[in-house]
Amino acid sequence: MSKSVIKVEHLSKAYQIGQIGTGTLSRDLERLWVTKVRGKEDPFLRIGEVNDRSVKGESDIVWSLRDVNFEIEQGDAVGIIGKNGAGKSTLLKLLSRVTAPTSGQIKIKGRIASLLEVGTGFHPELSGRENIYLNGAILGMRKKEITRKLDEIIAFSGVERYIDTPVKRYSSGMYVRLAFAVAAHLESEVLIFDEVLAVGDAEFQRKCLGKMGDISKGEGRTVLFVSHNMAAVKSLCNKGIVLENGSVKFNGGAEQAVAYYLGGGGAQTMNKVVFDKKFQTPVFSLHEMSVRNLEKTVNEPIAEDLPIELSTEITFHESDADRYHLTFHLYNELGEPLFSFHHTEESAKIQSGRNQIVCRFPAHFFQSGNFNLALFVVRDKRKSIFSERDILTFTVVDGQREMGVFMGREPGYIKPRFEWQINGK
């Protein structure tokens, strides 16, 4: 039975912008008296503001985190995601005890190994080998324990040739290779990784993600992982926490957390978009686009087990409108292109005036998930005169299943059905 290893209760962290202090000695002494001697709340924090970088604030006190609560169980791999400035790195620094919270408390069972930035915990004048022993000692490990793991750490890092060289001469990639190897192999119950793997090359990133998967799933240790790589979060983590302006906006499964984050804060995607006069040119006027299940309305969820219809209404103002055609690019929720498609001129020539261009996808073509469409208006089959990325976003949900048939979501984003033939011999 799983048990809680990290419990965060009403955690908050405030920072002061600009110069440290209130500006006068008397007020600094007042803050010291109230907080340290009387044990009460700092009165200057009452005027603090949410850490929103897009607006100009009135206070020089900002809350990097405000009233954060969550619980993490042993063996969980938790992805912490959010925009820049959401409070992710601050949260990891608090969990790693690099800095102290302004209010609230953190309860952690076991030892913590953290890799918050390149070179965390390394002394630049010591060699790589000496820094391995230094990090192990900081974690409370004995020399014999570190020695037992030493060869494995060096082999994983791939910097064996330079292991007795001072780390100040390492490149950033070598630094992070050794730092990750140390954090992953020394015996700690909780591992914390900030967005540091981006420094390493693609081969080492795959190696690190594989190791983190082994740690959480095979060894039952707890991993906290901050990354802007949503594919890595989905493949590695089983839980996800979405931070926004210092507050927890979502706490649940990794798939759902990524969908919430990429969906713009959980806002419902619109299956129909009316453009009014937004996309009007001398050549055409784009009126609306919609996605729905065949014989259902755009207000109903789009099920993957029914045919899906994409409709585009557009008016062409030129008499030779048959020179033009529409091309669509389909992207998944990670922004990765899936495929492009366009109507064939023979079966659906565009006419002068208003056109409704309809594309039908067969049932069971899509997997459940979030999708984005890009639209291109192309002239004479070669020149794009208009393009708009993410012009329409829609969500496909799982359809009806027969009892005992559904075994979970299959990999990928589409599942086309092919023609098969078996020839006996």
- Does 284 lie in the same domain as 195? no
pLDDT in tens, 57-103: 555 677 889 899 999 998 898 999 888 888 898 999 899 888 888 88
- Does 97 lie in the same domain as 131? yes
- Does 359 lie in the same domain as 234? no
Q: What is the pTM of this model?
A: 0.63
Give the pLDDT score at 125: 92
Give the pLDDT score at 173: 81
Last residue of a domain, which of 220, 244, 262? 262
User: Total domain count for the chain?
Assistant: 2
- Which CATH number fits the domain that encloses residue 361? 2.70.50.60
- Does 168 lie in the same domain as 294? no
Give the pLDDT score at 18: 52
Domain range spanning residue 134? 71-262
Are the CB atoms for 313 and 354 separated by under 8 Å? yes
pLDDT in tens, 348-363: 788 899 999 999 999 9
Give the pLDDT score at 127: 94
- Does 283 lie in the same domain as 249? no
Please list the rounded mean pLDDT of every run of 10 residues in the chain (425 residues). 82 72 58 58 54 54 88 91 86 88 89 74 89 83 87 89 92 83 82 72 75 78 84 82 90 82 56 85 93 88 90 93 92 86 77 93 88 91 88 81 54 82 80
Give the pLDDT score at 288: 93
Environment class of residue 296 by beta-carbon count within 10 Å: exposed (0-12), middle (13-18) or buried (19+)? middle
Is the residue at 286 inside a domain?
Answer: yes
Closest by Cα among 256, 274, 251, 281 to 333: 256
Give the pLDDT score at 404: 46
